[in-house]
Amino acid sequence: MLVLPILTDFRLLCKKLGCSRYFHFNGCKYVTPEYYASIKAHRIPTKGDILYSAVGATLGIPAIVNTDEEFCFQRYVALIKPNPNKLLSKFLWYMLKSGTLYKKAWEGTTGSAQPTVPLRAIRMLPIPVPPLPEQHRIVAYLDELQTKVDKMKRLREQAMKELDALLPSILDKAFKGEL
């Protein structure tokens, strides 16, 4: 029987996202084609859309849909369909990851045990929309910075591994009074 993926644990997905802007289908559950066919067209994600965690402790995490594969998701994920003639998906992703919009999203939450940012609050987020050429320039600049940050993180991890490897010999020398 043909089945289609459903993202069932966006929280786990978000932990795996880290600095990445995309997601994957590892560990997802599936729905039948009949169920998928019953979903309203405006709730079907397409490449370039943004998924936005709208419920719980991981509220406010965006991910760009980077696949043409058909899939659906559960209620705690909001679907944002940017108009590509006015707003770049990557630009919107960066804006949604900004501390300012993240804070605004949390300010718009309802509930306490299970905080939720309602769709109306997501629609009201103050997202600046400069002209497309400016969005392209900003995205290129932020991508360049992200590449540098990723490199620095890798170098830091490598340095930490090297320090961890040196620690036993340093302690050994310290206990022997050789330092």
- Higher-confidence residue of 132 and 114: namely 132
| pLDDT, position 130 | 95
- Higher-confidence residue of 7 and 83: namely 83
| pLDDT, position 13 | 44
**8-state DSSP, 116:** B
Confidence class for position 6, pLDDT limits 50, 70, 90: low
| pLDDT, position 23 | 65
pLDDT tens digits along 54-112: 888 778 889 888 888 888 887 788 999 999 999 999 999 999 999 999 898 888 888 87
Place of tokens 């079907």: 44
| pLDDT, position 111 | 84
* Axis-axis angle for helices 99-107, 89-97 (nearest 10): 70
| pLDDT, position 18 | 40
pLDDT tens digits along 140-170: 999 999 999 999 999 999 999 988 888 888 8
Residue 16 has pLDDT above 60, yes or no: no
- Higher-confidence residue of 65 and 18: namely 65
| Residue of 134, 49, 147, 45 whose CA lies nearest to 89 | 49
| pLDDT, position 138 | 97
| pLDDT, position 9 | 46
Pairwise CA distance, residues 91 & 11, whole Å: 23
- CB-based contact 47:66 (threshold 8 Å): yes
Token readout for 92 is: 């919107």
Residue 45 has pLDDT above 50, yes or no: yes
